Structure 1
Amino acid sequence: MDSKRSFSLQALLFALLVGVAASATFISDGVFQHQGSIGRSLLQTKKSCPVNFEFANYTIITSKCKGPKYPADMCCSALKEFACPYADDINDGTNDCASTMFSYINLYGKYPPGLFSSECREGKNGLECPADAPQSADDSSAAHVTRSFFPLVTLVSGFLLGFLFS
């Protein structure tokens, strides 16, 4: 009986550790993030992005923006097609959506550093998204992050394992 209790405690501990690891926040490399003045940026922490760019469909960009020349018209139109549905989240200076998105674009496309920031300029406000661009809520290429869900699932599964093996 004592070995069953020990096993159930080990299973519960394992489930809790998996839950903590699954809910860990993503640390962006901040390559494209504007830092501002050092004094203020040290006091201001950015929220994690509500859009999960890890599982987004990057073939929109990688199929059109190809090297070695990386034509600006193709690359910029592909960037707009991909990013415009998330414009509100990307332009929100209180989160890390822009740096996270560009990190994944560079990871999956293996683009040279600064390609999009140096080539894609339309006006003083940046790239202009078309008025008929779908909003991120209607787009299924990236899911919204539900970090608070993982610990709950882990806790429930831990209790279930505990009851099964007790």
Structure 2
Amino acid sequence: MGLRICFVLLLFFLLLGIATPSFLKYDRLDSPGEEGRSLLPRGPDCPFDVENMNYKIVTSQCKRQPNYSAKLCCTSFKKLTCKYRDDLNSNPNTCATEMFYYLRRYGNYPAGLFLTLCKEGNNGLDCLGY
């Protein structure tokens, strides 16, 4: 388990070094803590209110019909997240972990849905224009 965490941190810092500020990094699109139940992790507080974000931006568009549409899901996901990209990309805070908790709670999305659907390039999701 410790080796896995070290690998994830190493991967994160490598990606952090090559990503440009206008992208939401792919490693932040995965929902952490999927191995079992856990409380939201403690860490530095988010500078924005994650609990009261307007998740309807995503949940009203990203639905299984019969499969999730990459265009609808990724566009709505970017509308929700891109204005917070710097905070979501920041490793010390818990913004991304909390956001995925609420997205999964309100949208009942499978783990890794946005990581699987939303691929735009090597740097992550392009947030220009959002």
Q: Which TM-score band (shorter chain)?
A: 0.5 to 0.7
Measure the CA separation in 1 of the matches of 2:95 and 2:46: 5
Measure the CA separation in 2 of the matches of 1:37 and 1:113: 22
Larger CA deviation: 48-57 vs 89-98: 48-57
Matched, 1:128 2:126: yes
1:108-144 deviation line (CA, Å, top 9, x unaligned):
11111111111111111110102x43xxxxxxxxxxx
Measure the CA separation in 2 of the matches of 1:127 and 1:46: 25
- 1:50 pairs, out of 29, 47, 52, with 47
Task: List runs of 5+ in structure 1 lacking aligned partners.
Answer: 1-34, 134-166
Measure the CA separation in 2 of the matches of 1:121 and 1:98: 18
Match for residue 18 of structure 2? none
Percent pairwise identity? 44
Measure the CA separation in 1 of the matches of 2:100 and 2:123: 18
Measure the CA separation in 2 of the matches of 1:124 and 1:47: 28
Match for residue 93 of structure 1? 91
Deviation at 1:46, TM superposition (A): 3.6
Deviation at 1:48, TM superposition (A): 2.4
3-state DSSP of counterpart to 2:125: coil
Match for residue 157 of structure 1? none
3-state DSSP of counterpart to 2:63: coil
The code of the aligned residue for 2:5 comes to G
Measure the CA separation in 2 of the matches of 1:123 and 1:47: 30
The code of the aligned residue for 1:128 comes to D
RMSD after superposition: 2.2
Match for residue 25 of structure 2? none
Deviation at 1:36, TM superposition (A): 3.4
Task: List runs of 5+ in structure 2 lacking aligned partners.
Answer: 10-41
Q: How many residues are matched? A: 94
Q: How does 1:72-111 map to 2 (within 5 A)?
A: 72-111=70-109
Between Structure 1 and Structure 2, the one with more helix by share is 1
Match for residue 21 of structure 1? none
3-state DSSP of counterpart to 2:80: helix
Q: How does 1:129-148 map to 2 (within 5 A)?
A: 129-130=127-128, 132-133=129-130
Q: 1:99 to 1:121 in 2, by over 3 A?
A: same
Q: TM-score, normalised by structure 1?
A: 0.52
